[in-house]
Amino acid sequence: MVEDTASVAALYRSYLTPLGIDINIVGTGRDAIQSLNHRTPDLILLDLRLPDMTGMDVLDQVKQAHSDVPVIFMTAHGSIDIAVDAMQHGAQDFLIKPCEADRLRVTVNNAIRKASKLKNNDANDGAAEKYQGFIGSSHTMQAVYRTIDSAATSKASIFITGESGTGKEVCAEAIHAASRRDTSPFIAINCAAIPKDLIESELFGHVKGAFTGASSDREGAAELADGGTLFLDELCEMDLELQTKLLRFIQTGTFQKVGSSKMKKVDVRFICATNKDPWKEVQEGRFREDLYYRLYVIPLHLPPLRERDEDVIEIAYSLLGFMSHEEGKSFIRFSQDVVDRFIQYEWPGNVRQLQNVLRNVVVLNHGKEITLDMLPPPLNEPAEGENISARFAHTTTANNLAPQDIVPLWQTEKIAIENAIEVCDGNIPRAAGFLDVSPSTIYRKIQAWNTK
């Protein structure tokens, strides 16, 4: 950790202590570079502003000598564009200071795990991009980080819910990375993507000759995940008959390969996910109630992007740095019009949609700044209700106003905010975008009004 403020360094060290990792703290860029001559770290947390040189200078020298060491910048909110520039020069990502304990632990766990996978040539294409869905400092995401931090070391099953594109598999990997099973396999199986007649074989494996095309014995996801984590994505799509076999496997830890009479026993931790309401699926007969109670031990809901305040901008900047580096482009910032549009937009496809939008922009355009005309439809079109706040600006003119008509400023503000929320059908982040304030500001004001 390269941090020149001793109190901040000590605080962040205390945050990371539960991870059981060895942390070396230095206060200058020169000390950081010299320390690399004695020991190569698994990860570098690098402050952007240092007393003797810039974080960019340190990054350049680190990458010359140790190109495979991941570097995460720590920066203030106003220096995000510099952090994005650093990503183009090889930094993996950035954290906004001040950083909450749970967020810091989750980020460090993910970064070290990802670096380990890259060293073992075990990372999927675009792995760096996957982690962009797990960025954000909003109050809704802080709750997610706290749950991960608390539940990761347990063997209890975790059931993740959330809309498509919110990062459920990223969340599952973060839980695995923070667990005691992090050195063992993380195996994911998508129950909706595999044909009904093949999913049992994918889950439990098969023996040679079990069915047409089974030319050899094959290990299934359950066996591959032994000692580690088995992630069952879109679990509610699983056939009811196979749900019965899955329940038996969860209860006993034993299973049979397709075509075999032998029982195998494994030790796995279950994480499940769905974009549906699992209890509603139970009520409508598509998901076994006993399986629901067996797996729904620790519920974890991932909020949609539209409910995450200004996380969309933080995620977008991180994606911009990664994609610009990958595509050999020089983009480092967004115009204010783009920032406003991103905050106002509903993002029905969540983080996955944001990834696709930015990939389109970076591939098809050139420059340092993303402008509104570069965005694909519908984001480049005028936002519906863009001037909504103007409707509530002044309903009474000064000429018609008597002293007794004057109301406290907070009441005028309350009326404007409540009107905007009503027009936006109760969507506070959207109303905040039209009112040109942060959603967190509105949440705070509502809380204050409720106490008056």
Task: Judge whether residue 298 has pLDDT over 90.
Answer: yes
Instruction: For residue range 361-394, list pLDDT tens digits in order.
Output: 999 999 999 999 999 988 887 655 444 444 444 4
Q: Give the per-residue pLDDT at 115.
A: 75
Nearest to 186 by CA among 169, 206, 200, 167: 169
Per-residue pLDDT, averaged over 210-231, amounts to 84
Q: Give the per-residue pLDDT at 172.
A: 92
Q: Tell me the pLDDT band of 301, cut-offs 50, 70 and 90.
A: very high
Most trustworthy range by pLDDT among 200-214, 313-327, 357-371, 421-435: 357-371
Q: What is the rounded average pLDDT for all residues in the chain?
A: 84
Q: Tell me the pLDDT band of 342, cut-offs 50, 70 and 90.
A: very high
Max CA-CA distance within the chain? 91
Collapsing DSSP states into helix, strand and coil, what is residue 275? Answer: coil
Q: Give the per-residue pLDDT at 125.
A: 44
Per-residue pLDDT, averaged over 39-65, amounts to 89
Higher pLDDT, 320 or 393: 320
Flag the least confident range among 185-189, 269-273, 431-435: 431-435
Per-residue pLDDT, averaged over 202-209, amounts to 82
Per-residue pLDDT, averaged over 101-114, amounts to 84
Q: Give the per-residue pLDDT at 357.
A: 94
Supply the DSSP symbol for 50: -
Helix (H) and strand (E) counts for the chain? 19, 14
Q: Give the per-residue pLDDT at 199.
A: 86
Flag the least confident range among 68-77, 257-266, 349-358, 400-409: 400-409
Q: Give the per-residue pLDDT at 349.
A: 92
Q: Give the per-residue pLDDT at 390.
A: 45
Q: Give the per-residue pLDDT at 404.
A: 62
Q: Give the per-residue pLDDT at 389.
A: 45
Q: Tell me the pLDDT band of 127, cut-offs 50, 70 and 90.
A: very low
Q: Give the per-residue pLDDT at 406.
A: 72
Q: Give the per-residue pLDDT at 82.
A: 82
Q: Give the per-residue pLDDT at 215.
A: 72
Residue listed under structure tokens 């706290």: 146
Task: Judge whether residue 114 has pLDDT over 60.
Answer: yes
Task: Judge whether residue 291 has pLDDT over 70.
Answer: yes
Instruction: For residue range 61-79, list pLDDT tens digits in order.
Output: 888 888 888 899 888 766 7
Most trustworthy range by pLDDT among 17-21, 29-33, 307-311, 402-406: 29-33
Per-residue pLDDT, averaged over 184-199, amounts to 87
Cα dihedral 359, 361, 365, 368, rounded to 10, equals -90
* 3 state SS for the chain: CECCCHHHHHHHHHHHHHHCCCCCCECCHHHHHHHCCCCCCCCEEEECECCCCEHHHHHHHHHHHCCCCCEEEEECHHHHHHHHHHHHCCCCEEEECCCCHHHHHHHHHHHHHHHHHHHCCCCCCCHHHHHHHHCCCCHHHHHHHHHHHHHCCCCCCEEEECCCCCCHHHHHHHHHHCCCCCCCCEEEEECCCCCCCCHHHHHHEECCCCCCCCCCCEECHHHHCCCCEEEEECHHHCCHHHHHHHHHHHHHCEEECECCCCEEECCCEEEEEECCCHHHHHHCCCCCHHHHHHHCCEEEECCCHHHCCCHHHHHHHHHHHHHHHHHCCCCCEECHHHHHHHHHCCCCCHHHHHHHHHHHHHHHCCCCEECHHHCCCCCCCCCCCCCHHHHHCCCCCHHHCCHHHCCCHHHHHHHHHHHHHHHCCCCHHHHHHHHCCCHHHHHHHHHHHHHC
